[in-house]
Structure 1
Amino acid sequence: MRPPVSRAAFASVLLGRRAVGASLVAARCASSAASPAAAVTAYDHASFVKEIAATDPPEHLNSLLNVLQARGEKIVSPGAKRGLIPVVVPLSESPAGNLTSLLRWPTAPTGMEMPVVEVGKHGLWLLAKNVKQYIHRILVEADINADTGDDVWDAVGEAGENLYTKGDFKESQLADLDVYLLKKVGLFPDVIERKTLRHLEKGDNVSALITGEFYSRDQFPGFGRPFVFNAEILKRVGRTSEAKDSARVALKSPWWTLGCSYEEAAELAGWEDEQIEFIREKVTEEGKREDLKKGKAPEQVVLDEAAFLMDLACVDGNWDDVVDRIAECYREAGLDDVAKFIAYRE
């Protein structure tokens, strides 16, 4: 029996089209926007999010860019998407080569803010649920770091005063930085994972299991990483069957949200290449015809194709080879704004 495949992050209900500002986009016809060879207009990040990503720029976006630069990162053009997963808006690159970006979910639930992510080899790692939360965390860390603290505070401007008061971490008398972040700032995947692993190191398997389960309870909608990590914890404490179940749930999410390679997650799930073969069949013309015969709406068939192509690109590492077809899928589904954003690359 083939494993079921679903994509919660690519909603089955199509979003209404959003009006795209005309100031910079009017000069770019639809065919030019979809063509890698098209003339490129220079955008600042806020304008790019509004005009090309066709969504509202996050509050304090410019403050975040200033803070990232103060930390020694190089600001990157928002349209520099070649070779990258096509759903990100690049922000900055660290000296180590890590790329901090915004994630523009193709079909995000209404009201969901743009998460801050790091682009990795196998997809994305969630840094924070939104820009405001990420700045807040950086300010707390700067408050206890004498080397870079002043530069960060000078860069953040008035936004910093509204998010964090210098000295609050020390005055809180909380045990450590991770505890403070979870209690005062918000939930972060890396912090929750560290907390879980510390429980294991202390031999407290029960607390580790409770924290791992909490992590996977829809704290980070659309991301498969919490389920992969929970599977790893379950396996380490000898609960192999439950570990497989958790990993299989993870693989129903976009594979570029797993925080690891597909192969690692599939091994935890007890699978080999079954799902890859299944998805390759689904994106063939025959596979799409079968879905239509079963009564699936044509719009949903092409949305599924886009999601499947992104999964396969995550495995194959060939984003640029499939980005135009992914964009065309969204265009066929009536999501012209999403298609334009997906196809755009300098």
Structure 2
Amino acid sequence: MAFSSLRASSLLLGHGRSARFLSSSSFPDHISFIKEVAATQPPQHLSQLLGILHARGESILSPGSKQGLIPLVIPLAKSNSGAVTALLRWPTAPAGMEMPVVEVRKHGVSLLARNVDQLIHRILVEEDANSCQQGSDELFHAASDAGKKLYKKGDFSKSQITDVDVYLLRKVGLFPDVLERKVLQYFEKGDHVSALVTGEFYARKEHFPGFARPFVFNAEILLKVRRNLEAKDAARGALKSPWWTLGCKYHEVACIAAWEDEQIEYIREKLTEEGRQEDLNKGKPPTQIALDEAAFLLDLSSVEGTWDDSLGQIAECYKEAGLHDIARYVLYRD
């Protein structure tokens, strides 16, 4: 595989904003990995995002350093706090769907931005808003042509919008942490109606497709105002999405949903030969059964964060579903 020759030069690049600026050509490994191993098209401005992450003091990771991580991510960088930023490679993404940028956690991932461009745009806005008049231009240099395309320095002050979060929501896009912060601010002001309306808006399926976190947060908000039945329904809705997108431990959500381990037991039963035969008898196509089993294995792994224990089974499911590229990608490790 051509990627192996590039991988030999992959390094953890140094920390600190004072580190030497790296051009976008310094990150060939990730582009090749996404094309040849993850079998998809790399984001247009991925190299610029990597340059920005490095410029703000993060260590660039080898894209194949997936040990202990959910196998669907492509690691990009690690911060001083240990947080890993990565791309999420959905196994059966709709054609044209861009790879989201996520923060990797033991029990799954949290969404940072729906795509690379959106995250670059946000970082540059926040850098511009937070820097003094003599502030460093290092992140803007790292963004290179992508930065010029997405955001012009000074646009935040020219907008006369004083709240960065408001600017982000109006001019850049929707971000989970920004929406959650807005809801909590409404609560602090005693405006429960606006908090509930914003929480409901956050949980619309079209905003963050595939991610359970908005439904979990909405359930937590409903609990705050003692709408317990609605909170239970919201939590149960969240558990219909991949458990590794909950943004927290499974049991925290199951508690709100008033479920103990019955969902875990249900999934384990579906993974037995009897469960498979039952689905076949109902007329479910074998390909769909295999995809469902891969999803079930990922869900179970997320409960304890034991991703590496199930890699072989998950890959085998994707092979049965005809997704041989995804199977190889799931198994790949440096």
Report the TM-score when normalising by structure 2. 0.90
1:75-102 Cα deviation digits (max 9, x unpaired): 0000001111000000000000000000
Quote the residue 1:228 is aligned against.
Answer: 216
| Aligned residue among 89, 94, 115 for 1:104 | 89
| Aligned residue among 28, 31, 44 for 1:59 | 44
1:33-72 Cα deviation digits (max 9, x unpaired): xxxxxx9896700111111111110010000000000010
Quote the residue 1:257 is aligned against.
Answer: 245
Once the two structures are superposed, the pairs formed by residues 263-282 of structure 1 within 5 Å of their partners are 263-282=251-270
| Aligned residue among 174, 177, 184 for 1:190 | 177
Once the two structures are superposed, the pairs formed by residues 139-288 of structure 1 within 5 Å of their partners are 139-146=124-131, 149-218=136-205, 219-288=207-276
Deviation at 1:23, TM superposition (A): 4.7
Do the aligned partners of 2:3 and 2:33 also contact (CA within 8 Å) in 1?
no
Deviation at 1:175, TM superposition (A): 3.3
Distance 1:273 1:89 in 2: 31
Residue aligned with 1:144, SS? helix
Distance 1:319 1:41 in 2: 27
1:323 pairs with 2:273: no
Residues 249 and 145 of structure 1: is their aligned pair in 2 closer, same or farther, counting only changes over 3 Å?
Answer: same
Do the aligned partners of 1:196 and 1:212 also contact (CA within 8 Å) in 2?
yes
Query: More deviation in 168-177 or 64-73?
Result: 168-177
Distance 1:24 1:212 in 2: 44
Distance 2:31 2:192 in 1: 45
Deviation at 1:286, TM superposition (A): 1.7
Do the aligned partners of 2:102 and 2:109 also contact (CA within 8 Å) in 1?
yes
Distance 2:290 2:270 in 1: 11
Letter matched to residue 285 of structure 1? E
| Aligned residue among 29, 36, 55 for 1:44 | 29
Residues 276 and 184 of structure 1: is their aligned pair in 2 closer, same or farther, counting only changes over 3 Å?
Answer: same
Deviating 4+ runs (over 4 angstroms): 22-25, 39-43
1:155-194 Cα deviation digits (max 9, x unpaired): 1112111111111111111130000000000000000000
Quote the residue 1:3 is aligned against.
Answer: none
Q: Percent identity?
A: 64
Letter matched to residue 65 of structure 1? L
Distance 1:238 1:145 in 2: 38
Deviation at 1:306, TM superposition (A): 0.4
Residues 257 and 192 of structure 1: is their aligned pair in 2 closer, same or farther, counting only changes over 3 Å?
Answer: same
Quote the residue 2:19 is aligned against.
Answer: none
Do the aligned partners of 1:281 and 1:287 also contact (CA within 8 Å) in 2?
yes
Do the aligned partners of 1:24 and 1:41 also contact (CA within 8 Å) in 2?
no
Letter matched to residue 254 of structure 1? P
Quote the residue 1:304 is aligned against.
Answer: 292
Residue aligned with 1:157, SS? helix
Residue aligned with 1:96, SS? coil
Residue aligned with 2:137, SS? helix
Distance 1:318 1:271 in 2: 22
Distance 2:257 2:172 in 1: 33
Whose relative contact order is higher, 1 or 2, with alpha carbons under 8 Å and at least 6 apart?
A: 1
Deviation at 1:149, TM superposition (A): 4.3
CA RMSD of aligned residues (A): 1.7
Do the aligned partners of 1:143 and 1:149 also contact (CA within 8 Å) in 2?
no
Distance 1:154 1:41 in 2: 24
Distance 1:121 1:193 in 2: 21
Quote the residue 1:35 is aligned against.
Answer: none
Do the aligned partners of 1:142 and 1:149 also contact (CA within 8 Å) in 2?
no
Distance 1:277 1:344 in 2: 30
Report the TM-score when normalising by structure 1. 0.87
1:105-141 Cα deviation digits (max 9, x unpaired): 0101121100000001221000000000000000011
Structure 2: tracts of 5 or more residues without a match: 11-27
Letter matched to residue 140 of structure 1? V
Distance 1:53 1:41 in 2: 19
